[in-house]
Amino acid sequence: MPFKLQSNPLENNALFAAPETEQPQKQEKAKKSGKAAAQSEKTEKKQPVKPEPEQIPEEYIRATFIVRTDLLSRLKDYAYTDRREIKAVINEILEKSLDEIEAAYAKRGEKILHAPK
* pLDDT in single tens digits along all 117 residues of the chain: 566 666 766 666 555 555 555 555 555 555 555 555 556 566 667 778 877 877 889 999 999 999 999 999 999 999 999 999 999 999 999 999 999 999 999 999 998 898 887
Residue 89, sorted as left (phi over 0), alpha (psi -120 to 50) or beta, turns out to be alpha
pLDDT of residue 96: 97
Axis-axis angle for helices 23-31, 34-44 (nearest 10): 150
Q: What is the pLDDT of residue 16?
A: 54
Query: How far is the C-alpha of 3 from the C-alpha of 44, rounded, in Å?
Result: 49
For the full predicted model, state whether its pTM sits above 0.75: no
Residue 47 to residue 68: CA distance in whole angstroms: 36
Candidates 22, 21, 2; CA nearest to 80 is: 2
